[in-house]
Amino acid sequence: MGDVKLLVETKYKSDPRRPFKGSTLDPLLSRVGIADRLLVVTNAFNVDDARQALNENLGTRGRVISWVGPKDDDVLRAAVDELVR
């Protein structure tokens, strides 16, 4: 398999209990190339809406995960592994 371009975007919420809906992703999505992969990492606990928006735009080439600290490293690792395969 050739080189995979993985883009990583972080989204910090001052109150992680408020959902990350993904509305700020639109400008970024317009710049993602046809073969690029996108991983969005946020501290928000609820990422359902953003996950759905990314899935509609990128399908299996995009992931949104919630990462709060080292306890979430397995989720981060799994997302990266899936995207670079």
Total residues found in the chain within this entry: 85
Question: What local confidence, expressed as pLDDT, does residue 59 receive?
Answer: 96
Question: What local confidence, expressed as pLDDT, does residue 2 receive?
Answer: 64
Print pLDDT tens along the chain (85 aa): 468 999 999 999 999 999 999 999 999 999 999 999 999 999 999 999 999 999 999 999 999 999 999 999 999 999 999 999 9
Cβ burial of 34 (10 Å; 0-12, 13-18, 19+) is exposed
Q: In which element (H, E) is residue 58 found? A: helix 48-58
CB 37 within 8 A of CB 4: yes
DSSP 26: H
pTM of the full structure = 0.93
| pLDDT, tens digit (0-9, with 9 covering 90-100), for 5-22 | 999 999 999 999 999 999
